[in-house]
Structure 1
Amino acid sequence: MATTPEHDQRMASMTFTSVYPHYLAKVEKKGRTKEELHQVITWLTGYNEATLAKHISEKITFKEFFENATLNPKAQMIKGVICGYRIEDITTPLTRQVRYLDKLVEELARGRKMEKVLRVS
């Protein structure tokens, strides 16, 4: 399923701060930790813990969040379906990046080993 311009705009304007508590609740509900969630986010974005904490406390959009990120080169290895969208078919870079993060959080919550989540080979 292809994303629509409206969907892409909604992703760009959504704040990271509004979604982060849902990520945290999802992984903690499944027995994972905040530290593991942060490890996944910092792996994907290149942010350090201080920068991540700053972004969590500010009301920045996903567009701003990913504009300042240095995406991990292995991020392109993240594949599959998330929220009804096949990640590798998403053409809008920002929407794909948000879905990368969603997929990593899902894998973490499902109990996948951290080495697999972080694409360590």
Structure 2
Amino acid sequence: MSDEYENRSIASLRRLRDLYAMLLIAFGKLPIPVALPTKFEGYTQIQAAVERAYALLPEQPMTGRARDLLSTAALYWLTAAEMVIAYEIDHKGYKADAVILSVIAGESYVHDFFHLGEGEI
């Protein structure tokens, strides 16, 4: 394993973990809170939990704007998680870049969600 691959993998996983932490808080603040695992025990469990939370968003009694922001953030996280797996398979650098780009976009949407007023959720 090359140093570049290892460094990019570590950076990608850290960013993905940080966005997950933000989603964990956001989903917990919903009118009907959705609990995500607090222990990171592997992508399969975490990815399934985010997929489930994403699928439950249409049922939440919340504004369309809040739903759009959080669903987009979750979708970017799911995309980034898929790209981590793809990067681990073939080590193509653009896939690591895509992880970071997806995480940055997801962070932006969840950040906007956090700044909604009480009546906006």
TM range (shorter): 0.3 to 0.5
Which structure has the larger Rg? 2
| TM-score scaled by length of structure 2 | 0.34
